[in-house]
């Protein structure tokens, strides 16, 4: 058996050794409850505040805007549901407010928004630019969809299934003109540690915004993340309405005894992942180009969905290379790839458990047959060009076996 080559970092990453060490301290000698008044408690509280400062520093925001959560899913729920509820329009007899979400959002955003329709909110989905293979958002149409009663706009920064990098700045400018009081939520889970996330530069100071983050995508532990409120959001005095109630921790916006080991691990992971964003992005781009080149050499029948471009019109995030493969459905490809030690995924890992086709792939204009034949390769900063070349080389015989097979029979 070949040594496995792990190209599924958008699903999760290996916990870094320094992160494990930080967590072990909190599991061992630093076991105190941060709410306790004795030194074990105050030390734990101080270490949490240190981690909060690290998360804030990574995004250039203030510490009081960092709300630790159980991960990206909860951060998205808290932002979408909590912010919409806190900005709910109070006119009796009128709808609670209008919400716009991106067309390829993670289920944690889509389902959160859908749940709000039961409370009288109206939810509309933005559109991709029709006929644009780069998968960009139709900003002009989004601007037209914005209304006076729009309370929330939610768009991911990097798509998890095929890595489109959305133009948050243009969307924020459109909001400035059309819906300046609305809150902009950005699911930045797949962007963190791959490209710089600077809310002040991305969104500007005029629009209140928030960012969902998850530790396990950046060599941190699973089950911890954060919702980061921008300085503009804090200045506007906005806080999401709590979704759980408890004993006052985190200003009672997200109470519950803090996950100290997870939070300390996250703090260490985010400091490592964001220490030199320019260099990290450049490294990922170089390796990504190597993967695209190796695929075109060994599996020329595979088509990269959002290819890298060296110009400003590029919409590809550096670390995700999704390809449309010929013949057999992605599940069959994955089994064959697994057998030769190449670990990837079909679309997104979260989608893999669901039978339905990915709305994000369909939004990109793929037919249902094509949407069943997408493989996602995702990199981390320590993936090498050699790993990518070897993975593509191992794919060649798999392609020879599978390319002539047909995908799922029906278009149902
Ligand atoms: C874009 C995006 N948002 C949110 C999440 C959920 O994050 P978590 O796994 O921490 O709940 C994921 C996880 O894959 C994701 O890719």
pLDDT digits (tens, 9 = 90+) for 28-71: 999 999 999 999 999 999 999 999 999 999 999 999 999 999 99
Residue 264 predicted with pLDDT over 50: yes
Calculate how far, in angstroms, residue 293's C-alpha sits from the geometric centre of ligand 1. Answer: 29
Q: What is the pLDDT of residue 313?
A: 84
Catalytic residues: 350
The ligand 1 atom at the shortest distance from the C-alpha of residue 223 is 10
Q: Higher model confidence: residue 354 or residue 77? A: 77
* CA distance linking residue 326 with residue 212, whole number of Å: 35
* CA distance linking residue 52 with residue 68, whole number of Å: 8
pLDDT digits (tens, 9 = 90+) for 73-116: 999 999 999 999 999 987 766 779 999 999 999 999 999 999 99
Calculate how far, in angstroms, residue 178's C-alpha sits from the geometric centre of ligand 1. Answer: 29
Q: What is the pLDDT of residue 92?
A: 66
pLDDT digits (tens, 9 = 90+) for 300-349: 999 999 999 998 888 999 999 999 999 999 999 999 999 999 999 996 55
Calculate how far, in angstroms, residue 108's C-alpha sits from the geometric centre of ligand 1. Answer: 8
C-alpha of 351 from chain center = 14
Q: What is the pLDDT of residue 89?
A: 86
Q: Higher model confidence: residue 91 or residue 381? A: 381
The ligand 1 atom at the shortest distance from the C-alpha of residue 350 is 14
User: Under DSSP, is residue 397 helix (H, G, I), strand (E, B) or coil?
Assistant: helix
Burial grade of 267 (CB within 10 A; 0-12, 13-18, 19 or more): buried
Calculate how far, in angstroms, residue 43's C-alpha sits from the geometric centre of ligand 1. Answer: 31
Residue 406 predicted with pLDDT over 70: no
Q: Which domains does the chain have, with CATH numbers?
A: 5-13+276-402 (3.90.1150.10), 17-273 (3.40.640.10)
Give whole-number Cα distances, 94 to 89, 97, 120, 149, in Å.
Answer: 8, 8, 9, 10
Q: What is the pLDDT of residue 93?
A: 64
Q: Are strands 183-187 and 209-214 parallel, antiparallel or unpaired?
A: parallel
Tell which residue, 65, 26, 71, 66, has the closest CA to residue 47. Answer: 26
Mean of the per-residue pLDDT values of the chain = 94
Does 156 contact ligand 1 (Cβ within 6 A)? yes
Q: How sure is the predictor about 131, in pLDDT bands with cuts at 50, 70 and 90?
A: confident
Average pLDDT for residues 116-130, to the nearest whole number? 96
Backbone Cα Rg of the chain: 22
Average pLDDT for residues 373-382, to the nearest whole number? 97
Site to substitute for ligand 1 among 75, 77, 106, most atoms within 8 A of C-beta: 106
């Amino acid at each position: 058996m070949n040594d496995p080559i792990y190209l599924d970092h958008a699903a999760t990453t290996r916990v870094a050794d320094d992160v494990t060490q930080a967590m072990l301290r909190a599991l061992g000698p630093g076991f105190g409850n941060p709410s306790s008044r004795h030194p074990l408690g105050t030390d734990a509280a101080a270490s949490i505040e240190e981690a909060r400062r690290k998360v804030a520093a990574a995004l250039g925001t203030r510490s009081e805007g960092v709300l630790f959560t159980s991960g990206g899913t909860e951060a998205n729920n808290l932002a979408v549901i909590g912010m919409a509820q806190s900005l709910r329009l109070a006119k009796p007899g009128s709808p609670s407010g209008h919400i716009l979400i991106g067309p390829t959002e993670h289920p944690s955003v889509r389902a959160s928004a859908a749940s709000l329709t039961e409370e009288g909110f109206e939810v509309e989905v933005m559109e991709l630019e029709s006929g644009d293979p780069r998968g960009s958002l139709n900003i002009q149409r989004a601007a037209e969809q914005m209304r006076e009663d729009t309370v929330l706009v939610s768009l991911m920064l990097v798509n998890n299934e095929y890595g489109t990098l959305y133009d948050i700045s243009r969307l924020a400018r459109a909001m400035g003109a059309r819906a300046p009081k609305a809150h902009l939520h950005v699911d930045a889970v797949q962007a963190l540690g791959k490209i710089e996330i600077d809310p002040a530069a991305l969104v500007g100071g005029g629009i209140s915004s928030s960012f969902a983050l998850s530790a396990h995508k950046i060599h941190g532990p699973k089950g911890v993340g954060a919702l980061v409120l921008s300085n503009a959001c804090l200045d506007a005095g906005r806080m999401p309405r709590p979704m759980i109630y408890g004993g006052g921790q985190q200003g009672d916006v997200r109470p519950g005894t803090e996950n100290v080991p997870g939070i300390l691990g996250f703090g260490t992971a985010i400091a490592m992942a964001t220490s030199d964003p320019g260099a990290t992005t450049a490294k990922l781009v170089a390796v990504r180009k190597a993967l695209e080149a190796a695929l075109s050499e060994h599996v020329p029948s595979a088509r990269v969905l959002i290819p890298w471009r060296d110009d400003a019109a590029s919409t590809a995030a550096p670390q995700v290379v999704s390809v449309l493969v010929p013949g057999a459905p992605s599940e069959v490809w994955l089994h064959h790839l697994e057998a030769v030690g190449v670990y990837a995924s079909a679309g997104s890992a979260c989608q893999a458990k669901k039978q339905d086709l990915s709305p994000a792939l369909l939004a990109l204009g793929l037919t249902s047959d094509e949407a069943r034949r997408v493989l996602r390769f995702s990199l981390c900063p320590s993936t090498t060009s050699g790993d990518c070349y070897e993975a593509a080389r191992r794919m060649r015989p798999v392609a020879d076996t599978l390319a002539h097979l047909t995908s799922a029979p029906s278009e149902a």
